[in-house]
Structure 1
Amino acid sequence: MSELPQLLQQATLKRDALLEKLHQERTDCYRLFHGTNEGWGGLTIDRYGEQLFVQTFHQPLSTEDLNTVVEHYQNQFEITETVYNDRSAKNSRRSDENFKKSHDLTGQELGVTYRVKGKHSGQDPLLFLDMRVGRRFVLDHCKDKSVLNLFSYTCGVGICAATAGASEVWNVDFAQRNLAVGMENAELNQLQNHDIQFIQSDFFTAAKQLAGIPVKQRVRRGQKPRPFLKLEEKQFDLVYLDPPRWAKSHFGTVDLIRDYPSVLKPSLLATKEGGTLVCTNNVAKVPLDEWIDIIKRCATKAGRDVKDIEILTPEADFPSSDGQHPLKIAVLQL
């Protein structure tokens, strides 16, 4: 007999106090089962409003085990849709047809409403739940501040900043489809009259221009330089930097293991003196202390004085056996 029912029950009991608090805060999006640290490696189970979202990264679930998961949680909340994404194949890609879509639903986190779709043209969920602690920080610290949200994805941080009363919000992302979800999130939260912008741009061109750094690009012989959106130099009260592990464009390479300063330096220079830079690193193999040392050295070379560093850790629905969470969030006071 599978041990899954017992593991699910243990995870549910551990979350009782947290979920009571989250429900009081108008949150119905959270992790129900974090398999890496709860006995079933590679299995994650999330709630997104009325959607039960199941993913496997090591090996697929049997039909029996998937039914066990659904039966366990259907007694805890109304499930309109169950989405199962098996991502155990190479490169962690979803195994079903790319065109397969799920329902348009909504979920809430800390009173903010978000579009929920478990299956869409991309691979990842539209809202990363371990980043809740970062969005909570933004909700608490952005009133009357100008905010720059870099690698904004579906603009959750920007939506929180506008909801908190930021004076202006810039969301910058390369993918128009991500920004489109952000625009929909803005409408869901009735933010149309707020100063919130959705800017489709390569990170390096946008961040460097804002920081006053010359933009360079790789141009092969016989090719013309690629055009890019022109922006004026500008600094913000709060900058949120949440880069992917690795990405390459004609204007630069994002590499959180080998070259974090390439994304950190322009972000530092785009932050006002006396402002706040929130930066992240989601690579498990990068130790927190080593990453902080890199941040400090980069800030020194960039001529920016870091007066204080606060570390934010994912909330209790993302348990860690050793306290070393893959997602690391540093809040720098400049």
Structure 2
Amino acid sequence: MHDSLIQALERRRELIEQLEREQTNCYRLYHGTVDGEAGVTVDRYGPQLIIQSFHRDLTDAEVALIVEQVESYLGQALQPFYHARQHSQAKPQEAKRALSSSTEPDSQAVCQELGVNYRTRGVHRGIDPLLFLDMRAGRRYIQQQAKGLSVLNLFSYTCGVGIVAACAGAARVVNIDFAGSALAVGRENAGLNQLPEDRIEFVQSDFFPAARQLAGLPVNYRRQGRGGRRQPPRSYPRLEACQFDLVFLDPPRWAKSPFGTVDLIRDYPSLFKPSLLATKPGGRLVCCNNVAQVDAEDWLDQLQRSAAKVDRPIREVEWIQPEADFPSFDGKHPLKMVVLEV
């Protein structure tokens, strides 16, 4: 992939120059599906370089050549990591070029996007280094729109959307995620940007009880015990019904809990309804769907029908496209982001 990497870097030259002016030093350098070799990605996260393969192992020589080409292009040294994702049990390992046999590498670093600081880790239990780069366009939208507004960030993960909203001057930001470890990174990100504690909130909760309480809906649970008896759900934080000016909904493809199932192919409406009802009339709901086989227009039609059922019709629709470091053959990006004025 030597030649295709050089070509990919050249295609991004103008974008990277723009991003650098915008105080952004994290971006995708090689998107293998379009740039030349499917199943290989190369990402910069500030001082770190993350090389990933999903179909085949890259040799030490291939990894070293990628690092050499990128550093030559950027004119600076980076700390490289190689993750062989095709091995489900494999742990990420630092590229041997930068690994001293006597020193344990420090995988912690800080990257910048649109002037906002984020914690990144070249090695951790998740797939990405704590910030999804293809979501930059969504965070850019939030940065441009959030000033003075109340913002609800659902499935917040490490709270990138909430952090950029608070930095942009949102009046109130609430991040909700089930994973305490993700929210801990969100709190760290708040500290990296010197955000006061009263400007941003972190709520550890399953989506369904949190969103349904905010929407003023009853909380249901589905898990069955032996003999078909319903088991009481695990505890969850009690929240007052509240509507927000701007709601961001970015669920994973699939997840199951005692309160419901997240399924972006078969049942997006179960996520959409409480999120919509937690949005103020005249407010905006940003919906995301990262399943490639879901057609964007079919999905939008489903959202419009779901909104009509609860008498909250969609007034305006605006699509957000991923930025140029995530190219597509046909403009049909796996990640779909749509802003709904409701």
TM tier relative to shorter chain: over 0.9
1:101–1:152 CA distance, 2 compared to 1 (3 A): farther
Aligned residue in 2 for 1:174: 178
1:59–1:143 CA distance, 2 compared to 1 (3 A): same
Between the aligned partners of 2:161 and 2:231, the Cα distance in structure 1 is 37
- CA deviation after TM superposition for structure 1 residue 9, in Å: 0.7
- CA deviation after TM superposition for structure 1 residue 222, in Å: 7.3
Aligned residue in 2 for 1:218: 222
Q: Which residue, 281, 286, 290 being the options, matches 2:294?
A: 286
- CA deviation after TM superposition for structure 1 residue 209, in Å: 0.4
Single out whichever of 116-125 and 21-30 deviates more from structure 2: 116-125
Residues 86 and 94, structure 1, Cα contact 8 Å, conserved in 2: no
Q: Which residue, 65, 76, 79 being the options, matches 1:78?
A: 76
1:302–1:53 CA distance, 2 compared to 1 (3 A): same
Give deviations 1:160-210, integer Å, cap 9, x for gaps: 000010000000000000000000000000002442000000000000000
RMSD: 1.5
Aligned residue in 2 for 1:64: 61
Residues 170 and 199, structure 1, Cα contact 8 Å, conserved in 2: yes
Residues 92 and 123, structure 2, Cα contact 8 Å, conserved in 1: no
Give deviations 1:107-138, integer Å, cap 9, x for gaps: 00000010010211323320000000000000
Between the aligned partners of 2:30 and 2:21, the Cα distance in structure 1 is 21
SS in 2 for 1:95: coil
SS in 1 for 2:82: strand
SS in 2 for 1:45: strand
Give deviations 1:276-324, integer Å, cap 9, x for gaps: 1001000000011111111111111121121101000100000111111
- What is the correspondence of 1:22-37 to structure 2 with a 5 Å cutoff? 22-37=19-34
Aligned residue in 1 for 2:86: 88
- CA deviation after TM superposition for structure 1 residue 67, in Å: 1.0
1:194–1:226 CA distance, 2 compared to 1 (3 A): closer
Between the aligned partners of 1:218 and 1:294, the Cα distance in structure 2 is 24
- What is the correspondence of 1:250-269 to structure 2 with a 5 Å cutoff? 250-269=258-277
- CA deviation after TM superposition for structure 1 residue 225, in Å: 3.5
Q: Residue type of the partner of 1:112? A: V
Residues 86 and 95, structure 1, Cα contact 8 Å, conserved in 2: yes
Give deviations 1:214-238, integer Å, cap 9, x for gaps: 1111242274342211111100000
Between the aligned partners of 1:317 and 1:224, the Cα distance in structure 2 is 47
Aligned residue in 2 for 1:124: 128
Between the aligned partners of 1:117 and 1:123, the Cα distance in structure 2 is 11
Give deviations 1:218-273, integer Å, cap 9, x for gaps: 24227434221111110000000000000000000000000110101100000000
Between the aligned partners of 1:322 and 1:38, the Cα distance in structure 2 is 14
Aligned residue in 2 for 1:151: 155
Residues 101 and 120, structure 1, Cα contact 8 Å, conserved in 2: no
Aligned residue in 2 for 1:47: 44
Q: Does 1:328 align with 2:336?
A: yes
- CA deviation after TM superposition for structure 1 residue 25, in Å: 0.3
Between the aligned partners of 2:327 and 2:221, the Cα distance in structure 1 is 42
- CA deviation after TM superposition for structure 1 residue 43, in Å: 0.3
Moved >4 Å (runs of 4+): none
Between the aligned partners of 1:107 and 1:185, the Cα distance in structure 2 is 11
Between the aligned partners of 1:312 and 1:105, the Cα distance in structure 2 is 29
Percent identity for Structure 1 against Structure 2: 55
Between the aligned partners of 2:33 and 2:267, the Cα distance in structure 1 is 28
1:152–1:101 CA distance, 2 compared to 1 (3 A): farther
Q: Which residue, 8, 30, 45 being the options, matches 1:11?
A: 8
- CA deviation after TM superposition for structure 1 residue 103, in Å: 1.8
Q: Residue type of the partner of 1:56? A: S
Between the aligned partners of 1:73 and 1:154, the Cα distance in structure 2 is 27
1:165–1:94 CA distance, 2 compared to 1 (3 A): farther
SS in 2 for 1:74: helix
Residues 81 and 92, structure 2, Cα contact 8 Å, conserved in 1: no
Structure 2 portions without partners, runs of 5+: 94-103
Q: Residue type of the partner of 2:57? A: P
SS in 1 for 2:237: coil
- What is the correspondence of 1:230-241 to structure 2 with a 5 Å cutoff? 230-241=238-249
Residues 254 and 260, structure 1, Cα contact 8 Å, conserved in 2: yes
- What is the correspondence of 1:242-253 to structure 2 with a 5 Å cutoff? 242-253=250-261
Number of aligned residues:
327
The TM-score normalised by the length of structure 1 is 0.95
- What is the correspondence of 1:102-121 to structure 2 with a 5 Å cutoff? 102-121=106-125
Single out whichever of 80-89 and 195-204 deviates more from structure 2: 80-89
Structure 1 portions without partners, runs of 5+: none
